[in-house]
Structure 1
């Protein structure tokens, strides 16, 4: 700094003075237990990820990390609690749909999801798998496209990834089946297996064992790439619909007012926890791909997907309140 011209020395000094309190904020956080509020039931991908990284975060933060499940309203119950919290120790765990889909479907929440919450990081990406009861005639996407409106499909709930993926597919195919929403992907998969519903897009981690056992028939994968655990199952894009991509992300979100240095620290600590071999292996078993991206990258992708899902919501005239 001694060799810099005088104006630059002052600028450098100002920058250092500005950074010091912000660094102190991040270093001193957390000062009490941290709550991770999961927006979907136990056993769903976000909940599993939160519990897998919980021990590592407790160690690095020297505070208890408590995972609480608060499912309902497509993730809005948990999102509302976190978004309206003044506590810098309450974070939200759930699919990116809270920021990319829900704002299009829920207009009367009393708060703005996109301005009240911000993504800290994407934990991992995941796909939906179109599965059908093996007793049906649905053996391909072409057969699916021929189903009449009287046939049914299950989802993990209105506005959830499974519902919106099917709406995207139906918009692409020009079909319209009868929607049967459930409280989570597990119950939806059970009723497909039981023959009460014909088919549905269900998160891969939930249906993998049932596909392997033959209790469900896998027709197509929603994302851009095939699943490493279902290599014989084509993507929707490969099945004659280029450009189709319904990739989702389990996400860590925070109240919009959480200071940037704290957000950056949380993101770094979560990324470190997700890089451990044991956790990566466990997530791979669930067909979850680790992302651990920066908050800025997560925000950028969420804006792109917000626009994409807005088009689907508008085409299908979906509104849930």
Structure 2
């Protein structure tokens, strides 16, 4: 090897470490970002995803484009995101029905939910409402519980699919209140809500964002909410805890996630953007007006929450012997 060649090789070797910080600090985003929503358009998760996408577009000066990749309790969208490059250009708007419930029902998953994603922050929490078709002859949640107990196995309920939060909320209610109802799963929150509106099913847990307009129109009855506190948009509707189902609490929790190993600087920027959004009074009001509670938080807080949420729903699934169809 000539002296000139040795000098060239040494220069190239020394240049590599110098390039790495530059690459790590490359500007982001310089092009549109895809925000995957693994549920159908028209449901509450889709609405919340689009609200946050618009806010993030403003914060970063690039379009955050919502892409619906649906099916299999949200796991199709999750699997797609898990296979993308961790460069910040593909993000996931996830719900607890997929990251905390599906792992206990779908085996094997095409990804390891514990290692396939970077958890960034909770976004919002939506109260679910016990909704019944107007033909059901009840006006209060207590009357409904009595009505169902007198008809074991006769009353059907719809959900967004086996393992969806609307399904597990009903299983939790049946377990806590001693009810026996028949499950009719649909493919997403919007068709599930449409089923109870059309009278195909008699009852469903419907996200407040979806239920409130129909309540006002008189096309369904909203008897109780699933969260520990009443929803600010329907203060006259009691919680299930108030109605005599102690300890009952369920909600659709949305989170921002990404493929595993998303660079820490991008995680920090996204976390800061979500924190700024949920602390902005105007944006908070926009979320609250949709029947949801803005949350926010750090990746560390999200990691603790995910463990607790997995334990809660995993225990219920095992005790109720809930299974996906073979």
Q: Could you say whether these structures have the same fold, taking a TM-score greater than 0.5 normalized by the shorter chain as the test? A: yes
Which runs of structure 2 are paired with 1:77-116 in the superposition (5 Å)? 77-88=76-87, 89-116=89-116
Structure 2 residues not aligned, in runs of 5+: 1-19
Deviation at 1:79, TM superposition (A): 0.5
* Aligned residues of 2:105 and 2:163 also touching (Cα < 8 A): yes
SS of alignment partner, residue 119 of structure 2 = strand
Residue 137 of structure 1 pairs with residue 140 of structure 2? no
Residue 167 of structure 1, CA deviation: 0.8
Match of 1:188 in 2: 192
Aligned pairs for 1:295-314 (under 5 A) are 295-314=299-318
- Number of matched pairs: 301
Matched residue, 1:52: 51
Q: Distance in 2 between matches of 1:59 and 1:135?
A: 45
- 2:8 aligns to what? none
Question: Once the 2 structures are TM-superposed, how far is the Cα of residue 150 of structure 1 from its aligned partner?
Answer: 2.2
Structure 1 partner of 2:127: 127
The one of 263, 275, 291 aligned to 1:287: 291
2: CA distance between counterparts of 1:236 and 1:61? 41
Please say which of residues 290-299 and 133-142 is displaced more in the overlay: 133-142
Asked if residue 237 in structure 1 is aligned to residue 241 in structure 2, the reply is yes
Q: Using the alignment, how far apart are the partners of 1:276 and 1:267 within structure 2?
A: 14
Deviation per CA, 1:103-158: give whole Å up to 9, x if none: 11111222212221232111111111011112212432432541320220011222
Q: 1:63 to 1:190 in 2, by over 3 A?
A: closer
State the secondary structure of the residue aligned to 2:206: strand
Tell me the CA shift for residue 283 of structure 1: 1.5
Contact 1:132 1:216 in 2 (8 A): yes
Q: Cα offset for 1:226?
A: 1.0
Gaps of 5+ in 1: 1-20
- Larger gyration radius, structure 1 or structure 2: 2
SS class of match (2:131): strand
Aligned to 2:229: 225
Equivalent residues of 1:22, 1:261 under 8 A apart: no
The 1:136/1:28 distance shift into structure 2, 3 A limit, reads: same
* Alpha-carbon spacing, 1:200–1:60, altered in 2? closer, same or farther (3 Å): closer
Is 2:66 the partner of 1:63?
no
The alpha-carbon deviation at position 299 of structure 1 amounts to 1.6
CA contact (8 A) 2:207 2:252 kept: no
Higher mean C-alpha deviation, range 69-78 or range 181-190: 181-190
SS at match of 1:115: coil
How big is each residue's C-alpha offset from its partner over 1:271-290, in whole Å with a ceiling of 9 and x where there is no partner?
22344444322211211111
Which of these residues, 250, 271, 275, is aligned with residue 271 of structure 1?
275
TM-score normalised over the length of structure 2: 0.85
**Contact between 2:37 and 2:66, CA under 8 Å: does it hold in 1?**
yes
Match of 2:152 among 145, 148, 151: 148
Distance in 1, matches of 2:252 and 2:170, equals 13
Name whichever of 180-189 and 124-133 sits farther off. 180-189
In structure 2, the CA distance between the partners of 1:278 and 1:71, relative to structure 1 (3 Å rule), is farther
Q: For residue 255 of structure 2, what is the aligned residue in structure 1? A: 251
